[in-house]
Structure 1
Amino acid sequence: MVATTTDPAIDALTFDDALAELQRTVAELEAGGQPLEAAIALYERGVALQARCEQLLGDAELRVQQLVARAGGALETRDVRPEDATEEP
């Protein structure tokens, strides 16, 4: 997997963990009260967490493909989009 940040700890996070930490970071920034340097450090971490979430979502989108058997027995790969989720194959 390609690293998205310079922080190996962030690169090792799962999507759920990265999203939860991003939400905590945003809440802490919104609450305010940090010195400028601390707020900037939190913001930078938030950007790195957001990049990790985007990377993992992109990876998931690539993986979420279905193999559909065609009538002749050949297989076709197609992307599954959220709007396709309710349709029958």
Structure 2
Amino acid sequence: MTLLLKRPAAWIPIALSLGMLAFILIYIATYGISPPTPDADEGTPAHLFQLWLVLEALMIVFFAIKWLSRNLKEALKVLALQIAAVLPPVATVLFLEH
């Protein structure tokens, strides 16, 4: 697994997930949590989160297509790490919305 994690297709999605989690936590620490207003735009942080989510999904699919056929066992481990790395930022946003 360590050899496969050295590939950019493997570690970049994990790094982006950790970066998004850091961004969310720093934003909350800096600006706090404001109640949503129905007429207002969601704002730049929400748009960045949405862009990250699409990019993350595309990168994980790319990794799966490229590596699952070459090295199934190791690729599944890395894929599980990538998916697990997506969960904390998504869970944080879902928790804050509800």
TM-score scaled to structure 2, two decimals?
0.41
Give 1 or 2: higher strand fraction: 1
TM-score by length of 1: 0.45
Higher relative contact order (CA 8 A, sep 6+): 2
Structure number having the greater helix percentage: 2
